[in-house]
């Protein structure tokens, strides 16, 4: 645990690193809560708590039961759960989101954001994605979705009232108006949106009106935030939410990416959560710089909590940071079969399969090292860096052999292999970011796969180019996840160690 930064200094951005996109935030007293998209992963919608908006701790996942989150095996990567909105109203927390693979728009409630959250209230009358919730002075609840379609709902039952109406939908001709959030601030209702697509042209625009239904007047300075057309180290800035601090200052959380390498630049961690200060001029928000270091909020900061570097699987339940594609069953993933070990039972035969038994955590640092101790006596499996079924690198132990596998689009190859003695093995992957490339063709990073022998000797088996596990190559909306998997039988993992190597 590091020392507390002095008030008036700077803080590091992103405030939540790794694959944590589409942030939505609310404040209750001195506490801030934040939710993110989770797409095809289970459990869904990670939830974070902070006292200073800078240091965030994951307190759980909102959707942790099959009754809350259905992701059929045919759910494609980057489908599933899109863009939640988190709000607090009348003593309850409200979470609205879209399951684009099953169920459409869904609403959940809780008295404690750490859970448990309710089963879903279904909203068949609410069309579109990226739903938002806002209450007016008369107690009416307004739901606005991407494309800026708005309808009044009963949030307790899901009933809709009247036909939907169209609202201001951003800059004429700009693609993908989405991520609406509606607020009453001072004398106006503000409609904040993202537009331009979630790639390099992403941006944030805003309009205001006298009622929650408009008509809305666009800000003359739109987009109020974008890094399009710049060489800024943070790109794709957009999909934002506003929150007011206890001192009446205003702040924005938003997503962005950190591309590395040469041209065109590749981001591998997915879209991350950044923070920016906001001040108001003529009743319009002016967004401060979104940089790797920004001025700290004007209140005491909490101590920095170190990223957990090791899990010995001693608890009966997994830490909330662990996620799996589409499904996780106690029959296939348990810490109760062998005390102090994580036991994985194979379903799919490889990371290519949509029903693979895989448990991973988001890669949160541009340079890092992950290690695990695997006992393959009852099956085969290994350690993988996953972007999706068609883009992953694996180091796998099977039948007295260790091999490194690369899946890149339609191509799958065993890069190298060597024999191993019988018994548990320490597998490792080290990610080294590319800094200041001299060649425009340089990729974002290099991944080194190997084993550790009993005397501590590190045997490197392969070094692989990182660009093929990037969004710019694979497409989609997610980021890298590093974890353990089973390909046949049952394999046991004694521990998993994740170590940041960023300076």
What is the DSSP code string of 70-132?
A: ---TTPPTT-SEEEEEEEEETTEEEEEEEETTTTEEEEEEESSTTSPPPPPEE-TT--SSS-E
Q: What is the DSSP letter of 215?
A: -
Q: For domain 22-248, which architecture applies?
A: 5 Propeller (2.115)
Give the pLDDT score at 2.
Answer: 31
Q: How confident is the model at residue 60 (pLDDT cuts 50, 70, 90)?
A: very high
Interval 90-147: pLDDT, tens: 999 999 999 999 989 999 999 999 999 999 999 999 999 999 999 999 999 999 999 8
Give the pLDDT score at 4.
Answer: 36
Residue 200's contacts (CB-CB under 8 Å, 6 or more residues apart) are 228, 235, 236
Give the pLDDT score at 490.
Answer: 97
Q: How confident is the model at residue 296 (pLDDT cuts 50, 70, 90)?
A: confident
- CATH topology assigned to domain 310-500: Jelly Rolls (2.60.120)
In the beta sheet, which residues pair with residue 256?
Answer: 272
Residue 299's contacts (CB-CB under 8 Å, 6 or more residues apart) are 7, 52, 245, 246, 247
Domain boundaries, given as residue ranges, for the chain = 22-248, 310-500
Instruction: Give this prediction's pTM.
Output: 0.96
Residue 305 reports pLDDT greater than 70: no
Please give the average per-residue pLDDT across 158-165, as a whole number.
Answer: 95
Q: CA 338 to CA 12: how far, in whole Å? A: 40
Q: How confident is the model at residue 9 (pLDDT cuts 50, 70, 90)?
A: confident
CB 258 within 8 A of CB 366: yes
What is the DSSP code string of 141-198?
A: EEEEETTTEEEEE-TTT--EEEEEEE---SSTT-S--EEEEEEEETTEEEEEEEES-S
Sign of CA dihedral 41, 328, 26, 135: positive
Task: Tell me which residue of 425, 426, 373 sits closest to 400, measured CA to CA.
Answer: 425
Please give the average per-residue pLDDT across 238-258, as a whole number.
Answer: 96
Q: How confident is the model at residue 20 (pLDDT cuts 50, 70, 90)?
A: very high
Interval 80-91: pLDDT, tens: 999 999 999 999
| Catalytic residue positions, numbered | 22, 178
């Amino acid at each position: 645990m590091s020392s507390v930064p002095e008030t008036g200094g700077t803080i590091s951005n992103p405030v939540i690193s790794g694959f944590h996109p589409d942030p939505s935030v609310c404040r209750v007293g001195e506490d801030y809560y934040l939710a993110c998209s989770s797409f095809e992963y289970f459990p869904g919608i990670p939830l974070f708590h902070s006292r200073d908006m800078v240091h965030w701790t994951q307190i759980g996942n909102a959707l942790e039961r099959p009754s809350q989150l259905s992701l059929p095996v045919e759910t494609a990567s980057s489908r599933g759960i899109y863009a939640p909105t988190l709000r607090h109203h009348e003593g309850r927390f409200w979470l609205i989101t879209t399951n684009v693979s099953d169920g459409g728009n869904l609403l959940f409630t809780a008295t404690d954001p750490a859970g448990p959250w309710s089963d879903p209230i279904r909203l068949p009358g609410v069309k579109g994605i990226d739903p938002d919730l806002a209450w007016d002075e008369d107690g009416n609840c307004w739901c606005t979705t991407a494309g800026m379609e708005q309808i009044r709902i009963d949030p307790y039952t899901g009933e809709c009232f009247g036909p939907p109406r169209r609202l201001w939908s951003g800059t004429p001709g700009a693609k993908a108006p989405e991520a609406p959030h509606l607020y009453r601030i001072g004398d106006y209702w503000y409609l904040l949106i993202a537009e331009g697509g979630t790639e390099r042209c992403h941006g944030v625009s805003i309009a205001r009106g006298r009622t929650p239904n408009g008509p809305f007047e666009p800000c003359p300075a739109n987009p109020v935030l974008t890094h399009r057309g710049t060489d800024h180290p943070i790109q794709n800035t957009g999909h934002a939410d506003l929150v007011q601090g206890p001192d009446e200052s205003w702040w924005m959380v938003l997503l962005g990416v950190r591309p590395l390498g040469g041209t065109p630049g590749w981001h591998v961690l997915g879209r991350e959560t950044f923070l920016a200060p906001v001040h108001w001029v003529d009743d319009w928000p002016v967004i401060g710089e979104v940089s790797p270091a920004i001025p700290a909020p004007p209140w005491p900061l909490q101590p920095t909590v170190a990223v957990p570097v090791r899990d010995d699987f001693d608890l009966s339940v997994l830490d909330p940071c662990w996620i799996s594609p589409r499904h996780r069953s106690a029959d296939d993933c348990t810490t109760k079969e062998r005390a102090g070990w994580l036991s994985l039972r194979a379903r799919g035969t490889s990371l290519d399969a949509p029903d693979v038994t895989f448990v991973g955590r988001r890669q949160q640092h541009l340079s890092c090292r992950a290690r695990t101790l695997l006992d393959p006596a009852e099956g085969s499996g290994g350690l993988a860096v996953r972007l999706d079924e068609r883009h992953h690198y694996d180091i796998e132990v099977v039948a007295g052999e260790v091999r490194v596998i690369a899946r890149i689009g339609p191509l799958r190859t065993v890069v190298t292999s060597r024999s191993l003695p019988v018994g548990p093995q320490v597998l490792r992957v080290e990610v080294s970011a590319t800094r200041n490339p001299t060649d425009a063709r340089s990729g974002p990073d290099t991944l080194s796969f190997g084993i550790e022998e009993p005397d501590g000797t590190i045997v490197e088996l392969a070094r692989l180019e990182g660009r093929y596990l990037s969004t710019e190559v694979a497409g989609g909306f997610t980021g890298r996840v590093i974890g353990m998997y089973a390909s046949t039988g049952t394999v046991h993992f004694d521990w998993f160690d994740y170590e940041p190597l960023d300076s």
